[in-house]
Structure 1
Amino acid sequence: MKMTRSSLIAGLGAIAAMLVVTPVAHAGQRGEQDAARRAMLDGHTMPFSLIKRRVDAAMGGATYLGAEFNPSSNHYRLKYVKDGKVVWVDADGRTGDITGWAR
């Protein structure tokens, strides 16, 4: 009986820890998304879907993994995998033009 009670307490403790940690992990992503949306609504950037479409066309079938937005420069950094290598593509949020590549 004692072993079951301690297992239950440990399990509840683990669940409580996940509930506390999970919102913190998503808070940074949400702030970045909010900044990107504000920049688009204020006319400082193009909609992300248009930028991604332009970069996708230039990447020639690479697999898209995700993106980051830098609100101070209005630039996006999109992450792809091509030929087994990770490729970062920088794009100007105002024009959608590719401004740099990194492997």
Structure 2
Amino acid sequence: MMMKSFVPLLIAGVSAATLVSPAEAQRRDEHREVFDAMRSGKLLPVREIENRVLPSMHGAQYLGFDFDSGAGIFTLKFLRNGNVIWVEVDGHSGQIIGRSGR
């Protein structure tokens, strides 16, 4: 009798563990879009963009990037002397199009 009530609970627990949050699902979709666009040649690979920007960021710690799929813009994030620096890069051309912070 105890086993019969345990099985549905176990199934419910496993099902809940496999659900992803809407934010995580959106992040996965964005990563897929970026990957597909890079594979098709519409966007430069992230590594190429990083290789263009990182050498100019002397003394800054690279924190990672965000991607705006609608605009095709990568925003690389850095930290230097307690200040956050954002560098916006056109994902199609690799050109730096904006920078904020010091």
Shorter-chain TM range is 0.7 to 0.9
Q: 1:27 is matched with which residue: 15, 25, 28? A: 25
**1:75 corresponding residue in structure 2:** 73
Q: For 1:65, which of 60, 63, 66 is the aligned residue?
A: 63
| Structure 1 stretches of 4+ moved >2 Å | 18-21
Identity score, percent:
33
Higher helix content, 1 or 2: 1
Which of 31, 38, 62 is 2:36 aligned to? 38
- Structure of higher RCO (CA pairs closer than 8 Å, 6+ residues apart): 1
Match of 1:84 in 2: 82
- Please report how far the alpha carbon of residue 20 of structure 1 lies from its aligned counterpart in structure 2 after TM superposition: 6.7
Counterpart of 1:5 in structure 2 is none
Q: 1:58 Cα shift?
A: 1.6
Q: Residue 52 of structure 1 aligns with which residue?
A: 50
CA distance in 2, matches of 1:61, 1:38: 33
1:102 equivalent in structure 2? 100
Q: TM-score, normalised by structure 1?
A: 0.73
TM-aligned CA deviation for residue 75 of structure 1: 1.0
Q: In the superposition, relative to structure 1, how do residues 30 and 67 fare at CA in structure 2: closer, same or farther (>3 Å)?
A: same
Flag structure 1 segments of 5+ consecutive residues without an equivalent: 1-14
Distance 1:82 1:28 in 2: 30
* Distance of 1:28 and 1:64 partners within structure 2: 24
Gaps in structure 2 of 5+ consecutive residues? 1-12
Tell me the C-alpha RMSD between the 2 structures: 2.0
Cα contact 1:39–1:74 (8 A) shared by 2: no
